[in-house]
């Protein structure tokens, strides 16, 4: 398929301008598939993994559908969690930054309902929210869905996993049948197919194959480490790679709790999220992580689904995931927006077979490194710093900095000494 550009779609100049300003150069594969169909008014089932740009794939068609002159709700976007509702609201806010008088309202539990009702009374074009709170508003009569033109189900599989099926159906039944319905999901189990059959009209099935894994921005490395060595290995890697924001995956809720406890006792800012925690607790942890107040977030696969935190420097597979697709989902959380990310996988004993399977699935090799000894750590660190130096020289405009160094040279130091001193300072950082 030839590479499309956003100019190839029938979208308003306001949105094109916003897309340009945000810095999206070209549509992602799911956007390239979904935009023409959704803009033409078709129902769609879009399947693509996390981090592939699904929000804009439905967000742009939603924005195009809005008639600003009418202030009643015309679009409703249903998301599994408050965190995701806010992320979607933010992205839509950016995409609509040149559309004036557009009102987007996220509604979710935990926020005072009175305030939401007041905003709803003033009028909102697009409502984004979790199923529970949406139902709450419908039952109170504070949310009128009779003017809805388009409904989006985001992360539909997760919503069903969380037991929102009845709520979703109830919401859909409150909207006019002539509506357009866009469904997005990382996986399409039978339950999703049944839901689609019941509530969509000839949906176009769009699927993006899982090949982004070749993304060069993610450096994938594995270590053979038995359970009792994992914690030590983890702390060495944090040190060597100088990491400040990382996501660690464990296979079970209990392992998340234990690891958080162990990390805290070693003085790290660590916190965990998993499915046994209340939504409000999870939100609290996520917010701290997002703001960098927690440097290590330990999670299970399900709890971390769909979460997009842009500056994650590394993902650790503390356990090899049980499902090949999980591996892809997990490591896709780093290396965002053109930055380099690391994906470290700890392999204990027989897990090596699972790892072989993963490599076959992603059609690429994962490099093996030996657990660095304390002595080796220093050498590796210097090597990494020198790599960074090379990259800066190749990329940046250094004029000002060169001037500063020159003043040192003029006062009698030689450039090698200056460079060595800077390297020493960096290592001691």
Helices (H), 112-161: 113-122, 131-140, 156-161
Look at residues 281, 318, 325 and name the one whose alpha carbon lies nearest to residue 303. Answer: 281
Q: Does 27 bind ligand ADP (CB under 6 A)?
A: yes
23: left (phi over 0), alpha (psi -120 to 50) or beta: left
| 345/98 Cα distance (integer angstroms) | 43
Q: What is the DSSP letter of 141?
A: T
| 291/288 Cα distance (integer angstroms) | 5
Per the CB < 8 A criterion, the answer to whether 77 and 152 are in contact is yes
Q: Does 53 bind ligand ADP (CB under 6 A)?
A: yes
Characterize 126-160 residue by residue with b for buried, 16 or more Cβ atoms within 10 angstroms of its Cβ, and e for exposed: bbbbbbebbbbbbeeeebebebbbbbbbbbbbbbb
Q: Does 262 bind ligand ADP (CB under 6 A)?
A: no
Partner from ligand ADP, Mg ion, none contacting 52, C-beta within 5 to 8 A by type: ligand ADP
| 124/120 Cα distance (integer angstroms) | 6
| 65/125 Cα distance (integer angstroms) | 10
Q: Does 235 bind ligand ADP (CB under 6 A)?
A: no
Look at residues 145, 185, 162, 143 and name the one whose alpha carbon lies nearest to residue 81. Answer: 162
Q: What Å distances lie between residue 97 and 11, 55, 61, 120, 411, CA to CA?
A: 15, 16, 15, 21, 52
Q: Does 51 bind ligand ADP (CB under 6 A)?
A: yes
Q: Does 343 bind ligand ADP (CB under 6 A)?
A: no
Question: Which DSSP string do the residues of 19-78 spell out, in sequence order?
Answer: HHHHT--S--HHHHHHHHHHHTT--EEEE--TTS-HHHHHHHHHHHH--TT--S--EEEE
Partner from ligand ADP, Mg ion, none contacting 27, C-beta within 5 to 8 A by type: ligand ADP
Site for ligand ADP in 295-324 (CB under 6 A): 306, 308, 310
Among 14, 16, 50, 165, binds ligand ADP (CB under 6 A): 50
Q: Does 85 bind ligand ADP (CB under 6 A)?
A: no
Q: Does 90 bind ligand ADP (CB under 6 A)?
A: no
Question: Which range in 43-51, 112-120, 387-395, 414-422 contacts ligand ADP by CB under 6 A?
Answer: 43-51
Q: Which is nearer to Mg ion, 318 or 326 (CB)?
A: 326
Question: Which range in 54-62, 105-113, 388-396, 403-411 contacts ligand ADP by CB under 6 A?
Answer: 54-62
Q: Does 96 bind ligand ADP (CB under 6 A)?
A: no
Smallest separation (angstroms) from ligand ADP to the CB of 103: 21
Number of residues interacting with ligand ADP: please give it, by CB under 6 A. Answer: 16
Q: Which is nearer to Mg ion, 44 or 358 (CB)?
A: 44
CA 131 to chain centroid, in Å, comes to 21
Among 55, 74, 81, 345, binds ligand ADP (CB under 6 A): 55
Q: Which is nearer to ligand ADP, 52 or 220 (CB)?
A: 52
| 198/47 Cα distance (integer angstroms) | 18
Among 15, 35, 47, 52, binds ligand ADP (CB under 6 A): 52
Question: Which range in 54-62, 238-246, 254-262, 297-305 contacts Mg ion by CB under 5 A?
Answer: 54-62
Q: Give the dihedral sign, CA 100/106/112/116.
A: positive
Partner from ligand ADP, Mg ion, none contacting 340, C-beta within 5 to 8 A by type: none
Number of residues interacting with Mg ion: please give it, by CB under 5 A. Answer: 1
Q: Does 129 bind ligand ADP (CB under 6 A)?
A: no
Which parts of this chain interact with ligand ADP (CB under 6 A)? 24, 27-28, 31, 48, 50-56, 91, 306, 308, 310
Residues contributing to the site for Mg ion (CB under 5 A): 54
């Amino acid at each position: 398929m030839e590479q499309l550009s956003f100019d190839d779609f029938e979208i308003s100049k306001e949105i094109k301008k916003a897309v340009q300003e945000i810095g999206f150069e070209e549509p992602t594969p799911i956007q390239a598939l979904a935009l023409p169909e959704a803009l033409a008014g078709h129902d769609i089932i879009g399947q693509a993994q996390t981090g592939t740009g699904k929000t804009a794939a439905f967000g742009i068609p939603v924005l195009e559908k809005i008639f600003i002159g009418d202030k009643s709700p015309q679009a409703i976007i249903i998301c599994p969690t408050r965190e995701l509702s806010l992320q979607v609201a933010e992205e839509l806010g950016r995409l609509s930054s040149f559309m004036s008088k557009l009102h987007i309202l996220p509604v979710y539990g935990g926020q005072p309902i009175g305030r939401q009702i007041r905003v709803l009374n003033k009028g909102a074009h697009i409502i984004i929210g979790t199923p529970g709170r949406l139902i709450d508003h419908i039952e109170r009569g504070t949310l009128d869905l009779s003017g809805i033109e388009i409904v989006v189900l985001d992360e539909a599989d997760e919503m069903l996993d969380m037991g929102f099926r009845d709520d979703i159906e109830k919401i859909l039944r409150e909207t006019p049948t002539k509506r357009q319905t866009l469904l997005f999901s990382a996986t399409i189990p039978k339950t999703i197919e049944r839901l689609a059959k019941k509530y969509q009209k000839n949906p176009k099935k769009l699927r993006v194959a899982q090949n982004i894994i070749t993304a060069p921005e993610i450096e994938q490395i594995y270590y053979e480490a038995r359970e009792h060595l994992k914690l030590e290995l983890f702390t060495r890697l944090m040190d060597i790679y100088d990491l400040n924001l990382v996501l660690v995956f464990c296979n079970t809720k209990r392992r998340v709790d234990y690891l958080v406890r162990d990390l805290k006792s070693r003085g790290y800012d660590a916190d965990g999220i998993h499915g046994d925690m209340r939504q409000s607790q999870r939100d609290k942890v996520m917010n701290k992580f997002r703001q960098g107040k927690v440097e290590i977030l330990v999670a299970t696969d399900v709890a971390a689904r769909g979460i997009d935190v842009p500056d994650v420097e590394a993902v650790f597979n503390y356990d090899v995931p049980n499902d090949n697709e999980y591996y892809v989902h997990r490591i896709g959380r780093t290396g965002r927006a053109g930055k380099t990310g690391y994906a470290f996988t700890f392999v204990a004993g027989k897990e090596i077979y699972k790892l072989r399977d993963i490599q076959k699935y992603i059609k690429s090799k994962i490099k093996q490194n030996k657990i660095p000894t304390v002595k080796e750590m220093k050498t590796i660190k210097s090597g990494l710093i020198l790599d960074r130096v090379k990259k800066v020289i190749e990329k940046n405009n250094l004029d000002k900095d060169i001037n500063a160094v020159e003043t040192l040279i003029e006062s009698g130091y030689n450039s090698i000494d200056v460079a060595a001193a800077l390297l020493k300072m960096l290592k001691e950082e």
